[in-house]
Amino acid sequence: MGANMRLISGFGCFVCGSLAVLLCVAPANPDRRVNAALARMDAIAALAHSDAALAGPELRTALADPNIRAAVADPVIKVPLAEPEVNVRRLEVSDECVLSEECIDQYLWSVYERARKVDTIKVQEQIKTTVKKNGKSRTVTKTVTKLVNEDFTWKDPHAAEKAGMSVAQYVIGGMDRAFKVRLYHLFRALDDAGLAPGMTSGFRDDYRQSIASGNKAATNRSYHGGSLRGGYGHGLAADVVSVKGETRSDRCISSEILWKWIDAHGKEYGIGRPYLDKDPPHIAPIDGKEYADKRGLNAKLAEKGNAATSGVAKAAKPLQALQGRAEPKPL
């Protein structure tokens, strides 16, 4: 029994060491890094299960203690996030976190938790005004567009309650597993760069999408996890901002810097911004369908084609005008 335990423990250390080397080398291909990390997470989970089975009643009794189990499974140092607008300290996390999906989920949850869920949206409002025409006054109705601040803090908890889950299980657990590994590495890099990332949106089901405001896809077509995209466990999008700054104006400036950083370095982590300034916070895998449709080769060719067509049309208008002037008017 003791020999078996030493052999398994040694193999577990070898797996951990191999993963640490892999993550430090950081190959250019993010898929290879993510796939390797997922494979080793599965291997370590299997070894842990095997260890518990071989260790006998003593270890099983110890693991039954919630304090001991928490100490083993929770290497994240949690930072209080009651004031997201002022708490911009780097989120501390142990190097072994990459070995545990639970730890990655907890880290992503802390990034989500420290971001205020506030957005500026366009709201159309009808107003009545008096106008004068031909010396007579009359009342007309006009539609005006206003920019208003929206606090959507309540939406994810409401959707989670409707789904029978905790908010963390809903928002983080609903995202694609490989995408979460990419987000983990990206957010750690953003934190290291002093950009204080905060996630305002993770997984969304059809109901959550139906109550979203502003820029959004159809209810069941959202890459955040709509039913046509696979639903829970298949979310392939997130919204990220910076929480750095004492005022909202400061945080908006910091967010602009963060998004430009993602544009410059995101591909190293397999993540990009499909819509750029049309939906700045929105990020997704660069090898996913959403990014390919909006920023891929076909999208670029279509954009060039539209520009060329527009140029030809503009050039044709003056020519037609000249031809029209040269032709004599019919009598």
Considering only residues 163 and 213, tell me which one the structure prediction assigns the higher pLDDT: 163
Can you give the pLDDT at residue 32? 67
Euclidean distance between CA atoms 192 and 169, whole angstroms = 26
| Domain ranges within the chain, ordered by starting residue | 118-150
Q: Express as a percent the part of the chain with pLDDT over 70.
A: 63
DSSP state of 222: -
Q: Which of 48-57, 208-217, 244-253, 296-305 has the lowest mean pLDDT?
A: 48-57
Can you give the pLDDT at residue 294? 93
Q: Which of 59-63, 85-89, 115-119, 294-298 has the lowest mean pLDDT?
A: 59-63
pLDDT higher than threshold 90 for residue 287:
yes
To the nearest whole number, what is the mean pLDDT of the chain? 77
Tell me the C-alpha to C-alpha distance, in Å, between residue 325 and each of 95, 168, 316, 329: 76, 69, 14, 9
Nearest partner of 196 among 69, 49, 87, 63, judged by Cα? 87
Q: Strands 271-272, 197-201: parallel, antiparallel or unpaired by DSSP?
A: unpaired
Considering only residues 97 and 186, tell me which one the structure prediction assigns the higher pLDDT: 186
- Tens of pLDDT, residue by residue over 80-116, are 444 444 456 777 776 778 778 999 999 999 999 999 9
Residues 6+ apart with CB under 8 A from 117: 151, 152, 153, 155, 156, 200
Q: What is the mean pLDDT of residues 155-161?
A: 98
Nearest partner of 216 among 175, 271, 275, judged by Cα? 275
pLDDT higher than threshold 60 for residue 67:
no
Considering only residues 34 and 205, tell me which one the structure prediction assigns the higher pLDDT: 205
Considering only residues 299 and 52, tell me which one the structure prediction assigns the higher pLDDT: 299
pLDDT higher than threshold 50 for residue 21:
no
Q: Which of 61-70, 232-241, 261-270, 272-281 has the lowest mean pLDDT?
A: 61-70
Q: Express as a percent the part of the chain with pLDDT over 90.
A: 47
Euclidean distance between CA atoms 249 and 238, whole angstroms = 22
- Tens of pLDDT, residue by residue over 120-141, are 888 888 888 888 888 888 898 9
Can you give the pLDDT at residue 187? 98
Beta strands in the chain (DSSP E): 118-133, 136-151, 197-201, 238-242, 271-272, 282-285
Can you give the pLDDT at residue 309? 53
Euclidean distance between CA atoms 271 and 285, whole angstroms = 4
Euclidean distance between CA atoms 37 and 262, whole angstroms = 22
pLDDT higher than threshold 80 for residue 223:
yes
pLDDT higher than threshold 50 for residue 22:
no
- Structure-token match 């996390």, residue found: 93
Q: Which of 182-186, 224-228, 307-311, 324-328 has the lowest mean pLDDT?
A: 324-328
pLDDT higher than threshold 80 for residue 172:
yes
Euclidean distance between CA atoms 185 and 269, whole angstroms = 7
- Write down the pTM of the prediction: 0.66
Considering only residues 24 and 100, tell me which one the structure prediction assigns the higher pLDDT: 100
pLDDT higher than threshold 70 for residue 57:
no
Can you give the pLDDT at residue 69? 44
Can you give the pLDDT at residue 230? 97
Can you give the pLDDT at residue 33? 66
Local structure of 284: helix, strand or coil: strand
